[in-house]
Structure 1
Amino acid sequence: MYAPGHITLDDQKKLPSFTNNADAIKWFKSTYGDKFIYIESDYLRDQKCYIYYLILDELAYFSGHNELKNIGRVTNPMRFLASHQKIEIFEDGHIHI
């Protein structure tokens, strides 16, 4: 279960249609601001996929991230996992949440 503020299935149905990744990224950045952070990109299904996290609980996310970096584990993994939501944005504008 995610922290409050996550994108629900109903929210996903209401997302605009995007024709490319740039438009989708611009929309998410304008909608979620600094809580929408770039993580990495990779190729999935023969397309470049941009992976972002929507940060739902900043304290839990950044403390968990620091624990992973410093001690190699998270002391409260469920809180850390619920603190962010993964958003994949493909070159053609397709979104996977």
Structure 2
Amino acid sequence: MINKETLVSYYEKKGRLQQNFLTKQFQVDLPKFSTHEEAAGWFKELFGDDFIFVEKTKAANETEFYYLYDIIHDRERWERRERDIKEKGFANGLGMLMCAQRVDIYEDGAVELAF
């Protein structure tokens, strides 16, 4: 069961900087959610301010929506990335790609993580 005590066991090191990234096993072990709100609430409780809403977008079938979130794994790099995007229109630098992990949550509660 995923909780604050077991969360550390779901991380693996990735990239040149060996940054923390959630594993596929994390997605496998997720609870089954019935709604977007239920899933987002669960993630918010687990990750707190490191779980942030990005945008709502149409699914491929054009009839339903899904919600994009980021789980921030490296707050300092993430803040620098966001600042660079805002100021320069782009961000590049060591560790910027792996500083956060995308989470897609569908209206029916289905969850997909980027790996």
Q: Same fold (TM over 0.5)?
A: yes
- Greater share of helix: 1
Cross-structure match for 1:85: 101
Shift of 1:73: 2.5
Give 5+ residue unaligned stretches, structure 2.
1-13
Matches within 5 A, 1:56-71: 56-71=73-88
Shift of 1:72: 2.2
One-letter amino acid of the counterpart of residue 24, structure 1 = A
Higher RCO structure (Cα 8 Å, ≥6 apart): 1
TM-score, L = length of structure 1? 0.90
Deviations 1:52-87 (A, max 9, x none): 0000000001101101111223240x5111100000
TM-score, L = length of structure 2? 0.77
Stretches of 4+ moved more than 4 A in 1?
none
One-letter amino acid of the counterpart of residue 82, structure 2 = H
Give aligned pairs, total.
95
Give 5+ residue unaligned stretches, structure 1.
none
